[in-house]
Amino acid sequence: MLTVTILAIFVSVSLLTAVALFPILTKRSIVKDRLAKLTDEKYEQLSLISEKTPFQKFLDRLGGQMPGRRADQSKYVKFLLAAGFRKESIFLFHGIKLLLACIFPALFIILYALPKGILLQGDSLLYAVVLAIIGFLLPGLIVHKIAERRKLEIFHTLPDILDLVTVCVEAGVSIDSAMMRVSENPQFTDNPLANELKTVTLETRAGKPRPDSLRDMAARTGVDDVNSFVTMLIQTEKFGTSLSQALRVHSESLRTKRRQLAEEAAAKTPVKMLFPLAFCIFPSLLVVLLGPATFLFRNIFK
């Protein structure tokens, strides 16, 4: 009986001690808790080019069957690069054009021509051909609009980015670090020019010569001001002149050019307003002003 009592007391004391020490033994340090909060639970696989979907692979194969000269291919590549796409998207672009050229007339035939029973008529065939041409040209028009909007955004952002690069260079930062700092600025999040500067910096770190990276950036953007900026950087590095002074002068010249373009657009406003005034506003004013007088003269000469 005494042995059972001692064993029961031992087990009870052990359990109470384990319960009392459990929070202390399982407690993690403050540093571990902070690191756990900063660490993401999900890890994404890093890749330079995202994996294509089966539909995109189908469009690639379809676009690869499209015949064309190498000069035309290079023209389309520059066209896509100016819009912010990769040069690997050239076959995808051609595939979309061919697919739309087939879908538009097919929808017209299925939804309109067959129910109406006018499939073999000349007008229906003409409409199908016109829709095929529209579907083939529509992706090019959309990419052109995207490229023009991207070029305009780069043109308006370039002076502000040059100012920040100048401040960083005058503070003693190298040109590569300055471009990387500017590209990581929250003010230029998702900005095409900031992304291009980041690409130039990464290519330079990977071992590509800086002049070649800058020239490739100018070719991708397709903006004349970026091309002049790249030429200025290359010449400054070649001849050893003051980089901060060159950046400041170039930034001022770009601001002057932007102000002159705004003044030019403002000077064109009266000429552009002449036609709406002459054909829309003046006739309504004449009706309002001369309408009562017309009725008055008609009553007088009755």
* The pLDDT of residue 2: 55
* Whether the predicted pLDDT of 173 surpasses 60: yes
* The pLDDT of residue 48: 44
C-alpha to C-alpha distance for 282 and 50, rounded to whole angstroms: 58
For the domain covering 152-259, report its CATH number.
1.20.81
Question: By mean pLDDT, which of 32-36, 79-83, 109-113, 146-150 is the weakest?
Answer: 32-36
User: What's the pLDDT tens digit per position in 255-284?
Assistant: 888 888 888 888 888 888 888 877 888 788
Question: What's this model's pTM, rounded to 2 decimal places?
Answer: 0.68
Q: Which H or E run contains 244?
A: helix 243-276
* The pLDDT of residue 44: 42
User: What's the pLDDT tens digit per position in 24-61?
Assistant: 655 555 556 666 666 554 444 444 456 677 777 777 77
User: What's the pLDDT tens digit per position in 95-127?
Assistant: 888 888 889 888 888 888 888 777 777 778 888
What are the C-alpha distances in Å from 195 to residues 213, 251, 300?
A: 13, 19, 76
b/e string for 81-97 if b means 16 or more Cβ within 10 A? bbbbbeeebbbbbbbbb
What are the C-alpha distances in Å from 168 to residues 3, 173, 211, 217, 233?
A: 82, 6, 20, 21, 15
Mean per-residue pLDDT of the chain: 79
* The pLDDT of residue 148: 92
C-alpha to C-alpha distance for 272 and 133, rounded to whole angstroms: 33
C-alpha to C-alpha distance for 214 and 220, rounded to whole angstroms: 10
